[in-house]
Amino acid sequence: MSKTALITGATSGIGKATAELFAANGINLILCGRRQERLDNLQSALGSKTNVLTLNFDIRDRSAVSEAIGSLPDNTEIDILINNAGNAHGMDTIDQGSLDDWDAMLDINVKGLLYISKAIIPQMVERKNGHVINIGSTAGKEVYPKGNVYCASKHAVDAINQGMRLDLNAHGIRVGAVNPGLVETEFSDVRFKGDTDRAENVYKGFQALRAEDIADIIHFVVTRPYHVNIADLVVMCTAQASSTIVNKNL
């Protein structure tokens, strides 16, 4: 029987690439995002390969999360949860940071992840089966200048991932994190609020990771035998040694 995966932040970047790869391998999909047109396009593109449901909601809205998950057919069993939705806003020193930016990062990266997890994990506990993949970041492993609150949000994801694994161990649920470094997606466009030149400059002079690279790793993680749990994986492009050291000659 085909498994069903729910992917948050499915309309772009890593989420979209993961949805496409999962569909190619016959995994049923529940795709979540805020942009209905993109969800519709994904459903049209992938619907011939697998079963695709879409849910349009803002993961920051606790009621919207509950309503969206509650709207799924009664017999829906979610085998795989990909907590992918996340963002970065701004890159300022702590004294110059925007409170709105801080709220957005903590609401989406931390609270949104918790809301969707709370809505789905109880059914996994009841079945004593399931797999949760939390998409973290190298920013959750180290802090870099002007990364302050974004790094804090991803450190929180790292801690939540560890806490989930401990708490859900008794129920046979696999929990793991994939922590990418520099991936060329819409991430920097969002961070720099439409400053395209600044966003593009982040990836100039070296070959960054692609969303498809991370999707391939996520697919590998979820297709391991049940007794294998990849608990915490950090992946960077060859040019990247840390958040602040990138060889721009590669």
**pLDDT tens for the chain, residues 1 to 250:** 799 999 999 999 999 999 999 999 999 999 999 999 999 999 999 999 999 999 999 999 999 999 999 999 999 999 999 999 999 999 999 999 999 999 999 999 999 999 999 999 999 999 999 999 999 999 999 999 999 999 999 999 999 999 999 999 999 999 999 999 999 987 666 666 666 777 677 888 899 999 999 999 999 999 999 999 999 999 999 999 999 999 998 7
Query: Which residue's entry shows tokens 């939705």?
Result: 85
Query: What pLDDT is recorded for position 200?
Result: 74
Q: Global pTM?
A: 0.94
In angstroms, rounded to a whole number, what is the distance separating the alpha carbons of residues 239 and 76?
42
4 beta partners? 28
pLDDT digits (tens, 9 = 90+) for 154-205: 999 999 999 999 999 999 999 999 999 999 987 666 666 666 777 677 888 8
132 beta partners? 81, 175
Residue 186 φ then ψ, to 5°: -75, 0
In angstroms, rounded to a whole number, what is the distance separating the alpha carbons of residues 150 and 152?
5
Query: Which residue's entry shows tokens 């961070």?
Result: 191
- Here the tokens at position 121 are 């994990």
| Catalytically annotated residue among 144, 150, 203, 226 | 150
Report yes or no: 177 and 231 within 8 Å, Cβ to Cβ: yes
180 in helix, strand or coil? strand
DSSP state of 30: E
Query: What pLDDT is recorded for position 249?
Result: 83
Fold of 4-187+210-235: Rossmann fold (3.40.50)
Report yes or no: 73 and 123 within 8 Å, Cβ to Cβ: no
Report yes or no: 136 and 230 within 8 Å, Cβ to Cβ: no
In angstroms, rounded to a whole number, what is the distance separating the alpha carbons of residues 115 and 94?
27
Compute the Cα dihedral for 139, 143, 149, 153 and give only its sign: positive
From the number of C-beta atoms within 10 Å of its C-beta (0-12, 13-18, 19+), residue 210 rates as middle
Residue 115 a catalytic site member: no
**Residue ranges of domains in the chain:** 4-187+210-235
Task: Report which of 38, 112, 48, 58 is spatially closest to residue 81, judged by C-alpha positions.
Answer: 112
> For residue 38, what are the contacts with CB-CB under 8 A and spacing of at least 6?
11, 12, 16
